[in-house]
Structure 1
Amino acid sequence: MIKLILADSCPLLRDGISALLKEDNNIKVTGEACNADELHVVLATTPADVVLLDLEIPDLQRVGALERLCRRFSQVKILAFSVLESERQVHQTLKSGVAGYILRNAGLEELRSAVQLVAAGTLYISSNVSLGLLQKATGTTTSLSLLQRAREAPLKELSRRELEVLHLISEGFTNAQIAEKLFASKRTIETHRQNLLEKTKTKNTAALVKHAVLYGLVN
């Protein structure tokens, strides 16, 4: 189970996210903090795999504060949480050493996926932040490197047959139709579909297709 700490200055938001995630058997909120100083204390005393960090919390605006946090607790993945998607904000945040960047208008499924991916060591960047923006924010070489890291993990996990099934799923074909196209049994395709959900840590077909598009596994 992924141990998550919520760092946000708004108690209502922390309570809301915590309540929503209680329904997820793979994520457990183990601590909360309302400012950067409190977060340092919580991280020093509370087991954690991931921190969902509001970039606007008090004390985080000090020069080098985010970098120091990432260095001190390098074993914990920091998932930045922000309303901003400006070039300057994305650039500074990624350079600080965070494991992911998600916008505050993200849905629950995207939040769950982001937490699971960064916990597994995969860089996550909100789907609303465009590739063009990232290239400008971090430089072409760095941006491509980041995307390569994000795409390598799922590609290494999936077999050629699973990629074929994933491509057909993304085009809207049913298990029976895919089985006919690939000259396989329907049960075999159902097994491939279940393996895809498990390997990508997604819960349904819609989330699976979104994951595939986000990481360039399908067009």
Structure 2
Amino acid sequence: MISVLLVDDHPVVRAGVRGMLDGEPDIAVVGEAASGAEALTSARALRPDVVLMDLRLPGLDGVGATSQLRTVAPDTRVLVLTTYESDADVLRAVEAGATGYLLKDSSRADLLGAIRAAARGETVLSPKVATRLLNRMRHPKQDALSPREANVLRLVAAGMSNPDIGRTLTITEATVKTHLLRAFAKLGVSDRTAAVTKAMSLGLIPPDAGT
């Protein structure tokens, strides 16, 4: 029996997913959580085989929770189930330790297959996500940002000034400017707004980074 923990801040979504899983002879939903913090607490207590993890959660987000689950429940597999498919979201989730990445428009059959594959420790990707990553590998972006450059642009998108960004990242304002200039050069733009817009369109930073 594959035990599953559902993590999503929308009760209707959790109810819908539970309904899709109910009745499967080899899958049992053992708990639900509405936030990253609740997910960690539930995973520590329940030790599920698979966590279905949304990315956008209040407080600790899905990526942060996935990363911490390595310590809290190292044998638990995390299968991201989200509406977001940008390269940045996928890479952050995989780097945090997610076994798979599935979109919420996936069919019931795909979801069930992904849960079973994740429980076996296999990597599972939505066909759309797999296509995006394959295309990225075949045609790597010369304008790809470094992790620090992407972080700086995410904070720019959030409305932070250079001094604020420096304090947040514990770097000097001069270093912030250097990261911005390098990002401008890679993206082929000349200002902060254009850099954020292009980075979002390329999937280098989350499309809702400024919200």
Instruction: Classify the TM-score, shorter chain.
Output: 0.5 to 0.7
Once the two structures are aligned, what percentage of the paired residues are identical? 30
Matched, 1:100 2:100: yes
Unmatched 5+ stretches in structure 1:
141-219
* Partner of residue 9, structure 1: 9
Q: Is contact 2:7-2:33 (8 Å) kept?
A: yes
CA change 1:31–1:77 in 2 (3 A) is: same
Alignment of 1:65-104 (within 5 A): 65-104=65-104
* Partner of residue 109, structure 1: 109
Q: Is contact 2:79-2:118 (8 Å) kept?
A: yes
CA distance in 1: counterparts of 2:75 and 2:103, whole angstroms: 23
SS in 1 for 2:48: coil
* Partner of residue 152, structure 1: none
* Partner of residue 179, structure 1: none
Amino acid at match of 2:4: L
Alignment of 1:1-219 (within 5 A): 1-61=1-61, 64-134=64-134, 136=136
The number of residue pairs the alignment matches comes to: 140
Deviation string, structure 1 residues 148-193 (Cα, Å, up to 9, x no partner): xxxxxxxxxxxxxxxxxxxxxxxxxxxxxxxxxxxxxxxxxxxxxx
* Partner of residue 176, structure 2: none
SS in 2 for 1:56: coil
CA distance in 1: counterparts of 2:28 and 2:83, whole angstroms: 24
**Aligned-pair distance for 1:16?**
1.6
Amino acid at match of 2:60: L
Deviation string, structure 1 residues 98-156 (Cα, Å, up to 9, x no partner): 1100001111110000000010111101112134424637x98xxxxxxxxxxxxxxxx
- Greater RCO structure (CA 8 Å; 6+ sep): 2
CA distance in 2: counterparts of 1:74 and 1:39, whole angstroms: 14
Q: Is contact 1:90-1:134 (8 Å) kept?
A: no
SS in 1 for 2:60: coil
CA distance in 1: counterparts of 2:34 and 2:54, whole angstroms: 9
SS in 1 for 2:38: helix
CA distance in 2: counterparts of 1:24 and 1:62, whole angstroms: 26
CA distance in 2: counterparts of 1:101 and 1:114, whole angstroms: 9
CA distance in 2: counterparts of 1:65 and 1:48, whole angstroms: 14
Amino acid at match of 1:79: L
Q: Is contact 1:60-1:66 (8 Å) kept?
A: no
**Aligned-pair distance for 1:44?**
1.3
Unmatched 5+ stretches in structure 2:
141-211
